[in-house]
Amino acid sequence: MGMIEIISAPSPLLIQDLGRRGYLKYGVPKSGVMDEVSARLANYLVGNPDDSPLLEFTLVGPTIRFNSSAVFAVAGDVDVYLNDVKIEPWRSYWAKRGDILRVGMLKSGMYGYIAFAGGIECDRILGSCSTYLRANFGKPLKPGDKLKLGYAILTEKVGKSLPEEFIPKYGKEIRVILGPNLENFTRNGIETFLISEYVVTKESDRMGYRLDGPRIEHSDKGADIITEAIPLGSIQVPANGKPIVMLADAQTTGGYAKIAVVSKVDLPAIAQKRPGEKVKFREISVKEAQELLKARERTMKALRKALTAEGNLFRIKIKDFEGLIFAYTDE
């Protein structure tokens, strides 16, 4: 069992996994990683299951000392250094006792991830290691904190690399399913929502992203509704007409009308937007959203099999990139 020590944490540094399941009815948010795809890929690179606890940093990465040998991978558009020697993100490396890992500032995106073979040992609260600060489920990591790593056979986890084609790159367009409270908006308001660009504001956090842009017009029913459930990715529009996208730490119920819900495949794309960056929404159907999610999961399944395989690396071959259908071959 390995151990790491946090030397510096210039931005929020949290232990996260894929979140809590089954507790929304008790008022407990799902929480978990903001970018599920990047986090899962980081875990694949070190041979872990999807839901293994890992580190999530915001904008600027930490400096970490290895107190024992470990295999790690960093996910994000960021410069990474091991003992002051530049190494690559999206690739697994072996660190020895005493080695120092330094992760710089993200060049794009808001969140980056650091995974360790065997995952991070932590106290599970309601079945999850995810940090949820509003309920004191965990706390931000600080210099001097030491974390135990889970057991892993390290020699089989080194040198895995994610091909460039599969590194997540998120655009401005966010696909949404309209509703469920469309009766609270005028036709003009819905059209404004779909044709306009919106800017992520500084008043955004893991709970939700507040957007600025053209005002969305409510119908005579107004902005308020009887409090109801808030699905992950819901886009609420309060009386000021400015949308709020509800994300990982969002409350479980709310009383603002919802104009749309972000498709699950595009939740990482909206989560990785920085304040000042623009988004534009495009309507799709429930069926389209389901097919997009199925295609993504086929891709992730192929990548997981390729990157967690023992022995020689797999080479990913693209059969149909646009359709997100991939094949893998052993070499």
One domain for residues 58 and 195: no
Dihedral angle over CA of 126, 127, 128, 129, nearest 10: 90
User: Same structural domain for residues 54 and 187?
Assistant: no
Residues 15 and 30 in one domain: yes
Regarding whether 220 and 318 lie in a shared domain, the answer is: no
State whether 103 and 230 are in the same domain: no
> CATH number of the domain that 182 lies in?
2.40.100.10
Q: How many whole angstroms separate alpha carbon 90 and alpha carbon 78?
A: 10
Residue 220's closest CA among 178, 260, 189, 265?
A: 189
Same domain? For 220 and 241 the reply is yes
In this structure, the number of other CB atoms found within 10 A of the CB of residue 322 comes to 7
Q: Are residues 88 and 228 in the same domain?
A: no
pLDDT at site 321: 37
Could you say which DSSP state residue 321 is in?
Answer: T
Among 113, 142, 166, the domain boundary falls at 166
Domain stop point among 251, 268, 284: 284
Same-domain check for residues 190 and 254: yes
Same domain, 27 and 146: yes
What integer pLDDT is reported at residue 159 of this predicted model? Answer: 83
Give the range of the structural domain holding residue 47, as residue numbers without chain letter: 3-166
Of 17, 47, 48, 252, nearest in space to 127 by CA: 17
Give the total number of structural domains in the chain: 3
The pLDDT value recorded for residue 307 is 84
- Co-location of 155 and 13 in the same domain: yes
Which of 166, 187, 219 is where one domain is finished? Answer: 166
pTM greater than the 0.85 cutoff = yes
**pLDDT digit string (tens) for the chain, length 331 residues:** 689 999 999 999 999 999 999 999 999 999 999 999 999 999 999 999 999 999 999 999 999 999 999 999 999 999 999 999 999 999 999 999 999 999 999 999 999 999 999 999 999 999 999 999 999 999 999 999 999 999 887 666 778 899 888 999 999 999 999 999 999 999 999 999 999 999 999 999 999 999 999 999 999 999 999 999 999 999 999 999 999 999 999 999 999 999 999 999 999 999 999 999 999 999 999 999 999 999 999 999 989 988 876 433 444 444 433 334 333 333 3
**Is 179 found in the same domain as 159?**
no
CA pair distance 331, 317, nearest whole angstrom: 12
Residues 278 and 302 in one domain: no
